[in-house]
Chain A
């Protein structure tokens, strides 16, 4: 086992264990902190995959913005911090069965379609100017300029929508 595999396994364990904390912990605040740890693990996976820009975007958007938003929502809604009630609804067993079956199906497809022996390592190095290429793709009319603009309109709509939905009457 190489050092890279050991690092991969450690980061994956952080990601998976904190994800399990997110879905099972009674205390929602602890679940939110687990969510941050899980996002951090995913950023680590991006770094092993040599997608540095995406790792930074993950840190900024997920840990910096979305986690903070979730924590604010938890603090603004009373009764959430109570830990007496069960964290689950009426169907935790069926949910577990469904999730395990879905995992078995996905894992089977992954192992049979992309066997370990055939794809042991990346097929080539990442090009030096990959972030430059990415920036050019985002504004090139032949590539992603339309999805890029649609995404900016979507974010604006989400911004206005969030304010419109959550403001109180008469203010």
Chain B
């Protein structure tokens, strides 16, 4: 059988790849994709803990479903914002969106 820590390592790796994407990508759409990767890593952890520690309760799975629902809402609003910003600024590069800075 696969030990629990293997799942945790894979989830940590996926989370940190997403974290790197959020910190280092220029494009706002790419940043949003990296956030989705991070949310997926959290879900792997939730389901792995449910399966290995509490398989008779459905707590982990229900939380994962709520995470999926929130991720869907976040993607819809985030992409709408990116398209609205693109219309007014003609750019989706996160570093060029600095109106609030000055």
Interface residues, chain A, with chain B CB atoms under 8 Å away: 2, 4-5, 8, 12, 15-16, 19-20, 22-23, 28, 31-32, 35, 38-39, 42, 45-46, 48-51, 53-54, 57-58, 61-62, 65-66, 69-70, 72-74, 76-77, 79-80, 85-92, 94-96, 98-100, 102-103, 106-107, 110-111, 114-116, 119-127, 130, 133-134, 137-138, 143-144, 147, 151, 154-155, 157-159, 161-163, 165-166, 168
Contacts and interface: CB of A to CB of B under 8 A. Distances in A.
A165 B80 contact: yes
Nearest to B95: A89
Interface of B: 1-10, 12-21, 23-27, 29-30, 32-34, 36-37, 40, 43-44, 47-48, 50-53, 55-56, 58, 61-62, 64-66, 68-77, 79-84, 86-87, 91-92, 94-95
Given A45-B44, A57-B65, A76-B83, A70 B24 contact: no
B26 A86 contact: yes
Nearest to B19: A99
Contacts of A119: 3-5, 52-53
Nearest to B9: A107
Given A73-B79, A107-B9, A165-B77, A46 B32 contact: no
Contact of B2 (A42, A48, A76): A48
A103 B11 CA distance: 10
Interface SS of chain B: helix
B51 A89 contact: no
B75 A66 contact: yes
B8 A32 contact: no
Given A38-B37, A130-B58, A144-B62, A4 B1 contact: yes
Contacts of B77: 158, 161-162, 165
